[in-house]
Amino acid sequence: MLAASEVAREHEHLIRRSAERARYQMTPEEEDLAARLRPSGAGGWSKLHGNVSSQLRGEFRGESLPVTALRALATDPDEGVRRDAYEAELKVWEGAEVVLAAALNGVKGEEGTLAARRGFPDAVAPSLLTHGIDRETLEAMQGAVVRSFPDFRRYFAAKARALGKPKLDWWDLFAPVGRSQTEWTYEAGTRFVEEQFRSYSDKLGDYAARAFTESWIDAGPRDGKRGGAFCMGWQGDESRILMNHDPSLDSVSTLAHELGHGYHNLLKAPRTPLQRETPMTLAETASIFCETIIQNAALEQATGEERLYVLETQLLGHAQVVVDIHSRFLFERAVFEGRAQRDLTPQEINDLMTWAQRETYGDALASTHPYMWAVKPHYYSLSFYNYPYTFGLLFGLGLYAQYQAAKERGEAADFQRSYDELLSGTGLADARTLAAGFGIDLHAPDFWEGSLNVIREQIAAYEAALA
């Protein structure tokens, strides 16, 4: 077929992926039945989780607050506020644990049953196809991640000292450290982002300027607006971005992150719709790269408390994507294994969550959050909606390190051209093939260690700033 059709050859990667997926299909009748049952099965359980969790409220110092507001207090400078909010939040989740455990059992029960019926060796295997990597890549990355845990525990220990505690509690993970001397208004953030993007390339700077000038970004919070941030392709090479800006470097980093997704959409725009399909692992590449540009620029300009504030912003995000994400992977895999035998009780699910957090955070924390399985909607949607974030972070950091090396050699333009080609072609080849174009072997531990070394340097700088 490929030899006989130019259109087929242009979509070879998609065709080969489809053929691989077809190996794991049930009969047409069984696939039809599974699709028809999904709205009342895993899809219904997922919707139930969203509907129930969105209505939950808890008592905080005599006031009834949505559970999302309780969680937002995790960033309060006052430890008493953080601790009381944490305790109030746990009571909320405990009150809803029977319903939410039923939802988790329903989702994982269906997904695990279908994976086995389709012939997959385990529950992780379908996600590898979906996310566009092989098991060797996942194992090489996760091996490097586990080896980095002692370094992250140094960061947690340093943060505990900064907060005047022997160890961090769960409610301290997002506590502020350092102080920004910069007023990170949205207007200041857009100027900084455009300036720093332009320091990388005029093309990237022009893209940011266009997004700001043409008002592609719904920036500020308001009543009735959902939380979080995301970017979606719109028409042609345009994108639209939703975010909820607050005056912080973290929020400016989020702006850069979402603009990175938009830049990726810009480069994919000439491709056919099928060629633009990108797995989650590669979808995070441009966003992490752009975020790194901003954070590194902020660090270069910062001194004193401001420098500590920037390092804390970087490491807090990295710890979530490396350490906490790995706990989520371990937890989800264990839930699949347990659910294959029977329904899991809320207490059993709590125990698995606590175990997974202890496996990754180790003795760096004096307390854990047993109900994080109820907090995160990812467990109720796409299977293993976790490790692709780690891949995106470490792949993006590794590419940025290559850019810096190319810049020192006077070869920045060559890197930029190859990088744009990679982003344009994320639907044309798998991650390992694309990485090989930069001399990167995703099966080799050295690449992942190199990316983590960037974070290790930030941890050392953080410790020095607190000395």
Q: pLDDT > 70: what percent of the chain?
A: 99
Token pair of 41 as six digits: 């099965």
Task: Give me the residue label for tokens 């320091």.
Answer: 199
Per residue in 273-303, pLDDT tens?
999 999 999 998 999 999 999 999 999 998 8
Per residue in 205-254, pLDDT tens?
999 999 999 999 999 887 776 677 889 999 999 999 999 898 889 899 99
Token pair of 445 as six digits: 């531990």
Q: What phi, psi does 93 have (nearest 5°)? A: -65, -35
Pairwise CA distance, residues 296 & 454, whole Å: 11
Q: Which of 308, 302, 206 is nearest to 259 (CA)?
A: 206
- Region 123-129: mean pLDDT is 96
Q: Could you count the other beta carbons within 10 Å of the beta carbon of residue 125?
A: 16
Task: Give me the residue label for tokens 């392709």.
Answer: 233
Token pair of 52 as six digits: 């129930």
Q: Which residues sit opposite 325 in a β-bridge?
A: none
Pick the CATH number of 132-467 from 1.10.1370.30, 1.10.3720.10, 3.40.50.2000, 1.20.910.10: 1.10.1370.30
Please say if the pLDDT value at position 377 is more than 80: yes
Please say if the pLDDT value at position 2 is more than 90: no
- Would you state the pLDDT for residue 464? 94
Pairwise CA distance, residues 308 & 299, whole Å: 9
Pairwise CA distance, residues 14 & 277, whole Å: 9
- Band of pLDDT at residue 318, cut at 50, 70 and 90: very high
Domain limits, CATH 1.10.1370.30, in the chain: 132-467
Question: How many CA atoms does the CB half-sphere of 383 hold within 13 Å?
Answer: 23
Please say if the pLDDT value at position 9 is more than 80: yes
Per residue in 320-339, pLDDT tens?
999 999 999 999 999 999 99
Q: What is the DSSP letter of 57?
A: E
Distance between alpha carbon 224 and the CA centroid of its chain, in Å? 25
CA-to-CA dists, residue 90 to 71, 96, 103, 361, angstroms: 10, 10, 18, 20
Q: Which residues, at least 6 apart from 188, have a Cβ–Cβ distance to it below 8 Å?
A: 182
> Mean of the per-residue pLDDT values for the chain?
94
Cβ-based burial of 151 (10 A; exposed 0-12, middle 13-18, buried ≥19): middle
pTM of the model: 0.92
CA-to-CA dists, residue 272 to 172, 428, 429, 432, 433, angstroms: 47, 11, 14, 22, 20
Q: Which residues, at least 6 apart from 3, have a Cβ–Cβ distance to it below 8 Å?
A: none
- Would you state the pLDDT for residue 226? 67
- Would you state the pLDDT for residue 180? 87
Q: Which residues sit opposite 231 in a β-bridge?
A: 241
3 state SS of 244: coil
Q: Amino acid letter at 133?
A: I
Question: String of b and e for 259-275 (b: at least 16 CB within 10 Å)?
Answer: bbbbbbbbbbeebeeeb
Pairwise CA distance, residues 238 & 253, whole Å: 20
Angle at 181 between CA 308 and CA 307, to 5 degrees: 20
Pairwise CA distance, residues 289 & 79, whole Å: 34
- Band of pLDDT at residue 29, cut at 50, 70 and 90: very high
Q: pLDDT > 90: what percent of the chain?
A: 87
- Would you state the pLDDT for residue 70? 93
Q: Which of 218-227, 287-296, 367-376, 432-441 has the lowest mean pLDDT?
A: 218-227
- Would you state the pLDDT for residue 1? 65
Kindly report the length of the chain: 467
